[in-house]
Chain A
Amino acid sequence: MKQLPKEYYELLEQLQAVDFVLVELTLYLDTHPNDYQAIQQFNQFAQKRKQLKKQYEETYGPLQQFGNSYSSYPWNWDDTPWPWQV
């Protein structure tokens, strides 16, 4: 069965790192609502995450379902590999 290329894992790890930073910043900003510098950083990472998602989905298919990601043709979000198989 076709193996996933190395770039797939690198891209996924980048996405994971950006997601983690966003989670940390969200928790931080919950208690520091008027920390302008952190909000700027949050928006930068949110934008970066959108780019990474777009880049990922162009080559490897949708990341999330129910409208969170565009679908390619044919309908393939249920193809292998599933996230736990990766």
Chain B
Amino acid sequence: MFTTRKQYYPYISPFDPCPPIRVKTYVTAPNLYLGFQPPNLPQFSPHEALQKGTLWKVFYDPYYSPYEMANKGDYK
């Protein structure tokens, strides 16, 4: 399923003192995947748009950390 959260696999050395983090993720901005904004994209209601900081649902990205995702997963 498409997500703006990408991941990479850091090199793990045999001499790492702590337990290795095998997968690290990072969030990319939604506007990267949208060249010239097409018309008639789905929108938030005015009140919600004011809270979320954008009028169009596709651009809403609260930049959650992977750990926050569990409880605040109101992500689209």
Contact = CB atoms under 8 A, between A and B. Distances in A.
Interface of A: 13-14, 16-18, 20-21, 24-25, 28, 31-32, 35, 37-38, 45
Contacts of A37: 39-40
A31 B37 contact: yes
Interface of B: 36-37, 39-40, 46-47, 49-50, 54-56
Nearest to A35: B39
Nearest to A17: B46
Contacts of A35: 39
Most chain B CB inside 10 Å of its own CB: which residue of A24, A25, A38, A45 = A24
B17 to A, nearest CB: 49
A20 B50 contact: yes
